[in-house]
Structure 1
Amino acid sequence: MKKFMNRAETLVAESLAGFVAAHERLVTFGADRRFVRRRSLCPGKVALISGGGAGHEPMHVGFVGKGMLDAACTGHVFTSPTPDQIVAAIREMDRGAGCLLVVKNYDGDVMNFAMAAELAAQHRIATVIVRDDVNPGGSKRSQDRRGVAGTLVVEKLLGAAAEAGWRLEELSALGEDLNGRIRTMGVALGGVTVPDTERETFVLSEDEMEMGVGIHGEPGRARVTFATADEIVEAMLGAILSDLAPDRGDNLLLFINGLGGTPVSELYLAYNSVRARLQSLGATVARSLVGTYVTSLDMAGLSITVARLKERELSLWDAPVDTAALRWKG
């Protein structure tokens, strides 16, 4: 295994140190370096806190900043942050309006964030559990739908709403509502090598691919024959649309996400194919995002996310955001 690292056990800490140093205008470490937070805090604003295992970068630390997250807690590779990390973030980030925890639906994340909320019960806390995966069977790591690339959409919309002064109850209600209107499906051309184990999570032959993968290097829901890009997109989009069931007049956000080892040129090729297919069905692609944002280490693969957004949510998407990974003036 060849990776740019010193030791597997220090990889995450050293990476976070580099991230904070590179983006010191935007972020800093929280107490005892347990989490990464916005450098400038906002009294009277609901604090958005998220997190998960390392290996998904730039999510979540890359989304800390104005218009998105206030803090992100990072665990070891593909391992949930500990409750004490999350409690520390809650205590430091609550500036009087409470905290909203945005949690991907993986068992470890759900359990540790819930435990942290109990330990910090003196604070006003609400939790949104993101479930955007098309696969209702989940995986060995989760019950029901997993939280995958659609988490970015949820965090952006809730972050903009919090910046605009929405109350904790309003943000929680929006997050739950979004769960039924965002769907994601991933595909992989190979597994990943986890630094701690030095083992590849799964191995495919030259003519195979995994459909329905998550973001922890796990296999998908089906191993199928490799095909052309248009054929792959057709299968993925078919699963998404049969689940999401958009109406002809809906405004859609189309997000093509790289899983860590896919060239940008291939992501745009996939976007072109998906958009053409949606337009042929009479759908309106109102907003787009293409890039590598929610990864599974160096997995060669991509995911397609489609979200049905209301007019106010399009405005929240367009609202200014200033983070290391996502930035626009609105």
Structure 2
Amino acid sequence: MKKVVNDVNQIVDEMIEGITSVHSNLLKRLPNTTVITRSDVPVKGKVGLVSGGGSGHEPAHAGYVGKGMLDAAVVGEVFTSPTPDQVMEAIKAVDSGAGVLLIIKNYTGDVMNFEMAKEMAELEGIQVEQVIVNDDVAVEDSTFTTGRRGIAGTVFVHKIAGAMAEKGASLAEVKEVAEKTIANVRSMGVALTSCTVPAAGKPSFILEDNEMEIGIGIHGEPGIKRIPLQKADQIAKTLLDNILGDKHFGNHVAVMINGLGATPEMELYIASRKVVQELNEKGINIHRTWVGEYMTSLEMAGFSITLLDLDDQLTELLDKECEALSFCN
């Protein structure tokens, strides 16, 4: 294992210290926690948005903390859900009296721990709602999940719910638009290589040089099938066909081509070229395409495709200005 680390037991702590020291004008760390918040929380009169999960998916989730997106991200150990106590600290920090919305990726540990924190907060009189993102069309149940997994489409939920909250909407209204986004977003990924959790010191699974796995999860969970390595156009078409086959999309979408940690931008743009061609041929208008790393899996090679079916409301909110480090430009 070759990684730029000091002590595998201090990786998360040192990463959080690095993020908040470099971006101290925008972010701060709650003392004695793994919680990263906007520097100005709580924002008076605004619904607070909290998300998070295991580390190893950077820039998720701290990269989406900022005006117009999340108010706080709770960081767990590598591929491990944050504890209910840490989530609770985030809820208390962002609550201004207007309530708090939890945005949870559909993984068993995340759902359980965030729901426990929700119950703890409600006992203290804080109004909390939650939504669960399940955008991965690959498999219905997986190693860590009952139902579909939450993957890169979660970023669109952060952005749209964040824009709604920034407008001064109520907790019910923010939850409603988050659920609408979840209903309209679909994703699917492919892995060319495995990744190595630092504490384990060895790859999570093995893919031979001539193999790839279609429908892989962001923790290395099995996908639909393991097949011989294909050319970029065929890979992109396979993922896109599965996404389009899962939902009827209108003629106006947002697209995300998301690298899983070790895929050069060169290759992501080759894949995005095919996605654009396919959607154009089907008469589906692309409002905007994001290409880059948004929800990774350590140093896994591969990528995912996300489509968000847009209407006027979602388009307006998606286009609102924001100040999060890794999405707003």
The residue that corresponds to 1:204 in the other structure is 207
Residue 196 of structure 2 aligns with an amino acid whose one-letter code is T
**After the TM superposition, which segments of 4 or more aligned residues of structure 1 sit over 6 Å from their partners?**
none
Q: Percent of aligned positions with the same letter in both sequences?
A: 45
Tell me, in whole angstroms, the C-alpha distance in 2 between the residues paired with 1:96 and 1:31.
22
Tell me, in whole angstroms, the C-alpha distance in 2 between the residues paired with 1:48 and 1:56.
19
Tell me, in whole angstroms, the C-alpha distance in 2 between the residues paired with 1:264 and 1:69.
26
Where does 1:1-330 land on structure 2 (aligned, <5 Å)? 1-41=1-41, 42-121=43-122, 122-247=125-250, 250-328=251-329
Question: Deviations 1:1-42 (Å, cap 9, x if unpaired)?
Answer: 110111111011001100100111100012423300000131
Helix, strand or coil at the partner of 1:190: coil
Deviation at 1:300, TM superposition (A): 0.2
Helix, strand or coil at the partner of 1:224: strand
Tell me, in whole angstroms, the C-alpha distance in 1 between the residues paired with 2:299 and 2:318.
28
CA RMSD, Structure 1 to Structure 2 (Å): 1.0
Question: Deviations 1:203-256 (Å, cap 9, x if unpaired)?
Answer: 111221000011112232210121111111111111000002213xx3100110
Residues 33 and 86, structure 2, Cα contact 8 Å, conserved in 1: no
Deviation at 1:136, TM superposition (A): 4.1
Tell me, in whole angstroms, the C-alpha distance in 2 between the residues paired with 1:254 and 1:325.
16
Tell me, in whole angstroms, the C-alpha distance in 2 between the residues paired with 1:221 and 1:317.
31
Tell me, in whole angstroms, the C-alpha distance in 1 between the residues paired with 2:328 and 2:238.
32
Residues 259 and 303, structure 1, Cα contact 8 Å, conserved in 2: yes
Tell me, in whole angstroms, the C-alpha distance in 2 between the residues paired with 1:57 and 1:291.
12
Structure 1: runs of 5+ lacking an equivalent = none
Question: Deviations 1:244-294 (Å, cap 9, x if unpaired)?
Answer: 2213xx310011000000001111111111010110111111121111110
Question: Deviations 1:42-83 (Å, cap 9, x if unpaired)?
Answer: 100000000000000000001100110000000100000000
Residues 201 and 218, structure 1, Cα contact 8 Å, conserved in 2: no
Deviation at 1:180, TM superposition (A): 1.9
Residues 139 and 215, structure 2, Cα contact 8 Å, conserved in 1: no
Residue 3 of structure 2 aligns with an amino acid whose one-letter code is K
Helix, strand or coil at the partner of 1:101: strand
Helix, strand or coil at the partner of 1:323: coil
Residue 28 of structure 1 aligns with an amino acid whose one-letter code is K
Structure 2: runs of 5+ lacking an equivalent = none
Tell me, in whole angstroms, the C-alpha distance in 2 between the residues paired with 1:234 and 1:288.
16
Tell me, in whole angstroms, the C-alpha distance in 1 between the residues paired with 2:325 and 2:279.
31
Residues 46 and 98, structure 1, Cα contact 8 Å, conserved in 2: yes
TM-score, L = length of structure 1: 0.97
Aligned residues: 326
Residues 100 and 168, structure 1, Cα contact 8 Å, conserved in 2: yes
